[in-house]
Amino acid sequence: MTTQKPLLLALATGQASLLDEPVRMLIGGELADAASGATFPTYNPATGAVIANVAAGAAADVDRAVQAARAAFGHPTWAKLTPASRGELLWRLADLIQRDADVLARLETTNNGRPYRNTRNGDLPGIIKHFRYHAGWATKLHGTTVPVSTPNHFVYTVREPMGVCGCIIPWNYPLNMVSWKIAPALAAGNTVILKPAEETPLTALWIAELALEAGFPPGVVNVVTGMGETAGAALVAHPNVDKLAFTGSTAVGRKIVEAAAGNLKRISLELGGKSPNVIFADADVTAAARQAVWAILSNAGQNCCAGSRLFVQRHVADQVLDTVVSTMERLRVGNGLDPETQVGPLVSQEQLSRVSGFVAAGRDAGAELLLGGVRPAGVADGGFFLAPTVFGKVQDEMEIVREEIFGPVVCALEFDDWDELIARANDTPYGLASAIWTRDINKAHRFAQAIQAGTVWINTYNMFDPAAPFGGYKQSGYGREMGEAVYELYTQTKTVWVGLNGVR
Ligand code: NAP
Ligand code: MG
């Protein structure tokens, strides 16, 4: 295989600001242009400039990748590999990610905008941990013996891989999303076709090259770059794909379920959220307010778990909002490659326009704009920036409270008592995450019982660990990633009956 890492390295190190050759896909261990020859531009969100043109894969390319993944799935170099060897490959991949962590973090920041201090010091160590955690699972996916009541029979189960897995991921945490999908899929012995988001195709390609370098056979990890409506849709509909793991919006998730019906491929969905972050008056109110800032501003609010509905007990509301606003005012918004930057740009002009539209809708509906809502001072002209934004005097039925904004915009809602709070916090089609800040241990656990969400944080926020399952209630999706639970998504159970009649 030839490598395109030098090309991507030039971008990551700033030696090139626009690549003069197109970035290619990785199919069956080979770099590949789209069959049509088409490309699409990808941007640096901090400047708005095009940084590369990327192969625009479509149905023909997806078909090639599916064939490569199917062939690899059945090939003895992968199919007959022992679980321990699969674990070793994953461990080696983690080593290579560690070796390349600086470059990967820079490339991620260049293509996604997220501050380098977060990609390098937060995401990369977490991703390395994630691969090592799943390396351990490769040897622990055992079946059971079953105590059947049928005479003269012995029954056991084995866990087998699903087969060829399509993985469609969003742009908000590209490297994390790659690792959440491929680490467990590979540990269980599947092969993978990744379709990264059109906005952020670059780091997935680097990881796929590292997988080859680690020793995964060609075709085990394939990346098809391209548009959701073409490449993504072709992967979802493909009759030779066994499993489709999707992370993205609830609207597209619904389309995926319909389009995958043809061969009844298995589906898992990690979708949007509108998470309640609740501060009671008996909390350490100042600490809770400071954390509320990061509950919404992590990744400039482009976070499926963002604490976008900030519920505050009425008699401490002014105190909380003063702290939130004064903390946000002091934050440095800018280019993520600047080490001082705390909040980066939004990922695209489209996302900036969408979020700005919500800000306008909030104002029109009568919400009080306490901070932001505008382009911050001192940022590059072409960059996709929005200042941290706080709305007060918000009503539950306003669009800014109902819809996932996916930007640096928090809505503060005041509440008086427990029953009212729980009813309002649960009054959303979403159910991804939630948080409560209180010193009352009973209240904290009662909240954990009453809230309809896949994750509850108590006196903390945005915490993740490879061992802790993560996923949605209600229209935030189904299936759990991470922890042992993720193997429900990437394995299937075979039951074996052994007749003992005639055995003496
Ligand atoms: P999106 O528009 O739903 O896109 C997600 C992925 O699906 C992209 O790769 C996209 O391709 C592709 N896609 C779009 N239309 C498709 C179709 N018809 N068939 C197949 N694939 C299609 O979401 P996004 O804007 O990238 O990401 C933001 C959303 O992701 C938010 O709602 C956020 O809450 C959610 N999210 C959830 C989690 C979680 O774990 N629950 C984590 C992160 C993000 P294109 O890039 O070409 O559009
Ligand atoms: Mg999109």
Q: Which tokens belong to 437? A: 């800040």
Cβ contacts of residue 149 below 8 Å, gap of 6+?
none
Judge if 309 and 335 occupy the same domain.
yes
* Pocket flag, ligand 1, residue 431 (CB < 6 Å): no
What are the backbone angles phi and psi of residue 490, rounded to the nearest 5°? Answer: -115, 5
Q: Are residues 373 and 254 in the same domain?
A: no
Task: Tell me how far the alpha carbon of residue 421 lies from the centroid of ligand 1, in angstroms.
Answer: 31
Q: How many domains does the chain have?
A: 2
Residues 47 and 178 in one domain: yes
Active site residue 270: yes
Give the model confidence (pLDDT) of 287-341 as tens digits. 999 999 999 999 999 999 999 999 999 999 999 999 999 999 999 999 999 999 9
pLDDT at res. 393: 83
The answer to whether the pTM exceeds 0.95 is yes
User: Given the DSSP bridges, would you call strands 191-195 and 164-168 parallel, antiparallel or unpaired?
Assistant: parallel
403 and 300 belong to one structural domain: yes
Q: What is the full DSSP assignment across 164-211?
A: EEEEE--SSSHHHHHHHHHHHHHHTT-EEEEE--TT--HHHHHHHHHH
**How large is the C-alpha radius of gyration of the chain?**
24
| 203 and 310 share one domain | no
* Among 159, 184, 185, 189, residue whose Cα is nearest residue 83: 189
Residue type, 254: R
pLDDT digits (tens, 9 = 90+) for 365-387: 999 999 999 999 999 999 999 99
Would you say residue 504 has pLDDT above 80? no
Give residue-wise pLDDT tens across range 397-452: 999 999 999 999 999 999 999 999 999 999 999 999 999 999 999 999 999 999 99
Domain of residue 28: give its range: 5-271+480-492
**C-alpha of residue 170 to centroid of ligand 1, in Å:** 4
**pLDDT tens digits for 72-96?**
999 999 999 999 999 999 999 999 9
Which CATH number characterizes residue 160's domain? 3.40.605.10
pLDDT at 495: 98
- Residue whose CA lies nearest to ligand 1 atom number 43: 304
CA-to-CA distance for 277 and 292, rounded, in angstroms?
A: 7
467 alpha carbon to ligand 2 midpoint, in Å? 29
Asked if the structure places residue 379 within a domain, the reply is yes
- The CATH number given to whatever domain includes residue 309 is 3.40.309.10
Same domain, 113 and 186: yes
* Residue nearest atom 11 of ligand 1, based on CA coordinates: 228
Q: Does 197 contact ligand 1 (Cβ within 6 A)?
A: yes
Query: Tens of pLDDT along 229-272?
Result: 999 999 999 999 999 999 999 999 999 999 999 999 999 999 99
Contact present, 18 and 32 (Cβ < 8 Å): no
- Indicate whether 57 and 76 sit together in one domain: yes
Q: Over the stretch 449-468, which tens digit does the pLDDT of each residue have?
A: 999 999 999 999 999 999 99
Average pLDDT, the chain: 97
Under the banding of pLDDT at 50, 70 and 90, the label for residue 503 is low
Token pair 């680690």 in the structure block, residue: 214
Question: Which ligand is the nearest neighbour of the Cα of 308?
Answer: 1
Q: Is 478 in the pocket of ligand 1 (CB under 6 A)?
A: no
The answer to the question of residue 472 being in a domain is: no
Ligand nearest to the CA of 171: 1
CA dist., res. 215 & res. 191, Å (int): 14
* Predicted local distance difference test score (pLDDT) of residue 154: 97
